[in-house]
Each structure stands twice: as structure tokens, then as C-alpha cells.
Structure 1
Amino acid sequence: MSAGRSRDAASKKVIYVALAGNLAIAITKFVAASLSGSAAMLSEGVHSLVDTGNEVLLLYGMHRARLPPTAQHPLGHARELYFWTFIVALLVFAVGAGVSCYEGVSHLLHPEPLVDARVAYVVLGVSAIFEGISWRLALKEFRGTKGRRSYLRAAEESKDPRTFTVLFEDSAALLGLIIAFLGVFLAHRYDMPALDGIASLCIGVLLAVAAAFLARESKALLVGEGAHPQVERRVATLAAAAPEIRRVNRVLTTQLGPEQVVVAISAEFEDELRTPQIEACVERLESDIRRRDPQVMLLFIKPQSPDVWQRRHGRRNDDPLGVPPVDRAEH
């Protein structure tokens, strides 16, 4: 099994576990909310229901991303995953955060005493166990890709939103359970139903923050981010090492999907080369690059002098666009 397929299967496992857990938890929370009258518990039920729908959308996005290229979409449908991840972020914000804030304000304006707090405690404990299992699995998968970077930095630089989306959802869910527990406990302990409404508002704010982060990251991927800098550097190094290439002016990349990258190289070839020699170099270089980085699905190489590149693009060679120029002499 290839590395890409292995990661795809691992991501699916994480999403399926989260889907099953969130669906069971959502049903349990709604029952508990109706029995206890807790606004925080109702907010948590909505939160889990939204998370369940989000997992379904992520699976649908993964399915759509695997569709083959067509005349209308010659580069395939890989970015569908980024689109549906963005929709997930919108749902977390609009439905999860919106309903939680609404319920919180409603219970602050019209506070009602809890009917049976014991039911809420039991459900919160069971929910924490299920959420913890899903969170632990997502964390394990994410750790395998983050390297020595911090979790936040790794999520910001990740080109695969599947695992970190589930991880952030589960993290928000666990924090929400803690807030819901405090709301129910304090409201019951001090006979102040308004505290339950405040807890619901806090859950809404938590979801809004998580949704804003997910929306920002998925939007950046959807609009079109470059590949990881190390991919660009590897491509530039391989191109500069070719004896037919005098200088690599630029390496530009764009990420189509978690395992799909398009690369464009502007390079100055040796003056004495003829067209068949340049074509042979390009073919060999494409084979070498794709063997080194299988995620490179398309490679474009344009013979171009540094002066022409600068005139065409209106940029100096030291501008921060792609990998800076590389001379063969450096390698």
C-alpha cells in the first residue's frame, strides 16, 4: 500500500470513529437535556449533532476528491476536500456556536431550575469517555505527521485537513464537556439557573473560535497554497543538478489536495542545447522528481533566461515568490 493510500485509510478510520461516537453522544445528550432541562446540555447535544454531520461531509469530500479528471476539471477534483472542510467550519460556527449562544441568552433571560442534574452528570461522564477515545485516535494520527513542530504550527502548515479537523472538533468537544459540567454543577449547587446559561454561552464562544480557525485554514487551502517549502527545495535541487540546466530561476508550486502538487519551473538551459536534448532533459527530470516526490502529479518546465523572467514577472530574483534562483555551480 502506498503512503498516500495508507494515510487515506488512517484518516477514514479517525473520521468513522468520530462519526459513530458523536452520533451516540448526540442522542444521549438530547435525552439528558430533555430530562434535566439544562441549556448547556442542550448546547452540547447540538454540538455533537453538528460534529456528526461534519464527519459525514468530510467523508463525502474524500469521496469527491478521488473522482478522475474530466474535460471541465482537467486537474481532477482534489480540492473538493478543502471545500467541504470549509463548509464544516461554517456549520460549526453557524449551527453549533449560534444555537449554543441562543440557548445561553434564552436561559439568562428566562432562567429555569434544573429538573435532575444527576442525569446530566452521567451523560457528561459517558460522553467524555467516547470523545476521549475519538480524540486520542485523532491525536495519534496527527502526531505521526506533525514532526517536531508545535500542534498549532503543524495544523497551520498541514495540507491535509481531515485529521486536524477531527482533532480540533474533539478538542473543542472535550472542553465543551468540562464547561457544561461546571455549568450544571454550579447551577445545581448554588441554585442559580443563570450559570447554566452562562456555560452555554461559553460553549458557543469556544465553538466560534474553533470554527474561525478551521475556516481560515481551509480557506487558505481552497484558494491555493504552495506546497511545503521542503518539496520546493527538493525540486529546485534536482533541477539545478541537471547538466543541461545552467540556472533555476524559480520553482512555483500549488497544492491541489493532500497528496497532489503541481510544480512549475523556470530554468535557463545551456545555450548549445537543441530541442531534442531539452526534451530528453525535461523527461528525465520529471521522472526523477516524481520518483522522489510521488505527490507531484504535474510538472511544467519553461526554458527562460533570468532577465526574461524578471521582465515578465516584474520581480527581482530575491523576491519571496517560490524558491529563489539556484545555480548549478552551487550543487
Structure 2
Amino acid sequence: METFSLLTALREVKHAKKPEETIRTFIRTSKQPELPVVLLEDIGAEIGLILALVGILLGHYTHEPRWDAVGSISIGVLLIIIASILAIKLKSHLIGEAALPSEVAKIETAITSHAKVLHLINLRTEHVGPEELIVAAKVEFEHSLSVADISLVVNELEVLIRRSVPMALFIFIEPDISRQ
């Protein structure tokens, strides 16, 4: 049963990950916690079964009960390792996680490529869901623009950002003056 579950999880991960992405990278960078959790649990179960089998067989054939204990302790260590990996992975989903550097670069390019933008002062991103991103930016616009013109440019920037990073659900752009 565990092998079937592991094979199913691997098949789902193969469909969900990018072609150039390794499984390890997928586990680290996935914004959907379900698949990495199931995959790690299944891998841990398979390794745990092997450790239990080795411990029992060694104990049986050597008539040394300590091998059974070593197998049990090994399973405990394995569980601690998997729990630690999952805690690190899931912590970011509890406190919010910034967009990937490649996504941040696309957002920066979308903003700074606009002719009316003088300077991107500050940019923050945060995932609020697996495919939902908040973008907050402080932007210095050309000083000759009116409030109405800035409003139009902000609307254009929102379109550019969403075109480059479709998961940008909420976009907040604050006009400011650079203090450099």
C-alpha cells in the first residue's frame, strides 16, 4: 500500500513540477504544501519499513534483540528529520513567503520599463495562497505628472505586472519621491 501511495505521489509531483525542476527543488519551492507533505510522508514510510525489516531480520538471525532497538531508534530519527523538513517548509506558509527571485525580477522589470517611472524605491511581495501574490511598491514617477496622470500610469503598471506575473492578485503602488 505504501509503495502504491508513493508511486501515486511521484506521478502527481511529476505533473505539477516544471520540466527542468528536480523533485528536491519542487519540495523546497512549491507554493502548494499538499504534494510535498504527501511525498515526504510516503518516502518516510517506505524508508521506515525498510529500517524496521532490517532491524527485525538482524535481531532474528543474530539472536541479538538490540538490532530491533536500533531499527526502532533509526525510525525515530527518520521521523524527526522528516518532521523538521516539513516544519521548515510549512512555516513559510503560515507567516507568508515572498515571491521567487525570478518573479520579483519580472515585477521589477515591468515597473522600471515604464517611460514615466523614474525609480523603483521599494518592492515587497507576499504569497497569500499557492497562486496568489500581493505586490506592494513605492515608485517615483516623473515630477511633471499630475495626480490624474499618475493614476493612469499606476493602472498601466498593474497591467504590466499582471502580464509578467499572472498570480499578482493584489497590487499596491504608492507614489513617492526618492530621498537619494
* Cα distance in 2, alignment partners of residues 262 and 243 from structure 1: 24
More helix by share: 1
Q: How does 1:227-246 map to 2 (within 5 A)?
A: 227-246=99-118
The answer to whether the aligner puts 1:257 opposite 2:129 as a matched pair is yes
TM-score, normalising length: structure 1: 0.51
| TM-aligned CA deviation for residue 253 of structure 1 | 0.4
Of 61, 64, 79, the residue aligned with 1:189 is 61
Of 133-142 and 204-213, the range deviating more from structure 2: 133-142
Aligned residue identity for 2:80: A
The answer to whether the aligner puts 1:302 opposite 2:174 as a matched pair is yes
* Cα distance in 2, alignment partners of residues 220 and 146 from structure 1: 21
Q: How does 1:62-73 map to 2 (within 5 A)?
A: none
Of 223, 233, 237, the residue aligned with 2:95 is 223
Q: Could you tell me which residue of structure 1 aligns to residue 79 of structure 2?
A: 207
| TM-aligned CA deviation for residue 196 of structure 1 | 1.6
| Partner secondary structure for residue 17 of structure 2 | helix
Instruction: Report % sequence identity.
Output: 34
| Partner secondary structure for residue 306 of structure 1 | coil
Aligned residue pairs, count = 179
| TM-aligned CA deviation for residue 281 of structure 1 | 1.4
| TM-aligned CA deviation for residue 134 of structure 1 | 1.7
| TM-aligned CA deviation for residue 147 of structure 1 | 4.5
| Partner secondary structure for residue 31 of structure 2 | coil
Q: How does 1:306-321 map to 2 (within 5 A)?
A: 306-307=178-179
Higher relative contact order (CA 8 A, sep 6+): 1
Deviation digits for residues 208-256 of structure 1, max 9, x if unmatched?
1100111012113322221111111111111112222122223210111
User: How well do the aligned residues superpose, as a CA RMSD in angstroms?
Assistant: 1.9
Of 138-147 and 191-200, the range deviating more from structure 2: 138-147
Q: How does 1:37-56 map to 2 (within 5 A)?
A: none
Q: How does 1:94-173 map to 2 (within 5 A)?
A: 130-143=1-14, 144-145=16-17, 147-173=19-45
| Partner secondary structure for residue 301 of structure 1 | strand
Query: Which runs of 5 or more residues in structure 2 are unaligned?
Result: none
More strand by share: 2
The answer to whether the aligner puts 1:272 opposite 2:147 as a matched pair is no
Dislocated runs of 4+, deviation >6 Å = none
